[in-house]
A = this chain, B = another copy of it.
């Protein structure tokens, strides 16, 4: 089998230059890169990342354990994490646990046995003790996790306040708050708290709809929202815990002949691609997912370098005005 030396010789370059091309380090001209690739192809050279990982007892792979891939929010998050990882020369091992405790546990073990450089987890159910003695940095995303090295989240409370203030400023006087119920306490739960607090301070009436835990993006929220709007007449504003819920709220409003935003204003949460594809487009709370994803990767890097990492890093959110409010 061809070695690195053979490739260097065939390309007429030093071993150091070939190594820089392979590891994508430092400046390499396109011409040099192409001649290395050509030599590799001629010789059928196969660098062995596996051997390197074994000798270093650490791979350049980061594990992601997510509750969903298809949900527009997680699709965006995974996209941003893959990109941030790529820019820091990491690869991404993707696991979807669907909020099932047993699968999360298996995936954590898989990360361990694959000697990942770090793990980013967005878990709904996992128990704290799963995460002792992992041997690599653990970053929890929008989750409180005692055993994580660092937690990255957005200021959910601020997002809730912002949504309330916008709806009130636009004239809403009886506002519905639609949100999921988590089996464990999630940072996202404080969206509702911030929202209710802001409404209380301005003496605005609120009506709450908490979806049962079994409701997901797959089952849909539509029948609950329809029933809620029928039961509570005169609602002129809705704060929705996600853009998906907001999209289904638009559907329910149209079904009931309630014009959006004229008779009822709607604000979503997340600022996903979906918020631009409904009619009207969804006014929503923007989470800086790109920056949050980059922070996750940075924190793993820092922790592996022995640097100090903060327990929680919280990002500001912002309001994106579109068509529903």
Nearest neighbor of A33 in chain B, beta-carbon distance: B102
Measured CB to CB, the closest approach of chain B to A258, in angstroms, equals 12
Known: A95-B91, A278-B277. A70 touches B59 (CB 8 A): no
Known: A114-B91, A250-B279, A279-B254. A72 touches B69 (CB 8 A): no
Contact in complex: A69, B59 (CB < 8 Å): no
- Cα A54 to Cα B59 in complex, Å, equals 13
Stretch touching chain B among A40-48, A158-166, A229-237, A305-313: A40-48
Chain A binding surface SS class: helix
Q: Contact residues of A with B, CB < 8 Å?
A: 22, 24, 37, 40-41, 44, 46-51, 53-54, 59, 61, 68-72, 75-76, 78-79, 82-83, 86, 91-96, 105-106, 109-110, 112-115, 129, 132-133, 135, 217, 220, 244, 247-248, 250-251, 254, 273-274, 276-279, 281
Residues of B within 8 A of A40 (CB): 109
Copies of this chain present in the complex amount to 2
Residues of B within 8 A of A61 (CB): 93
Contact partner of A51 among B54, B129, B133, CB < 8 A? B54
Residues of B within 8 A of A53 (CB): 50
- Cα A78 to Cα B70 in complex, Å, equals 8
Contact in complex: A91, B93 (CB < 8 Å): yes
- Cα A93 to Cα B113 in complex, Å, equals 15
Contact in complex: A129, B92 (CB < 8 Å): no
Nearest neighbor of A260 in chain B, beta-carbon distance: B279
Contact in complex: A50, B114 (CB < 8 Å): yes
Measured CB to CB, the closest approach of chain B to A49, in angstroms, equals 4
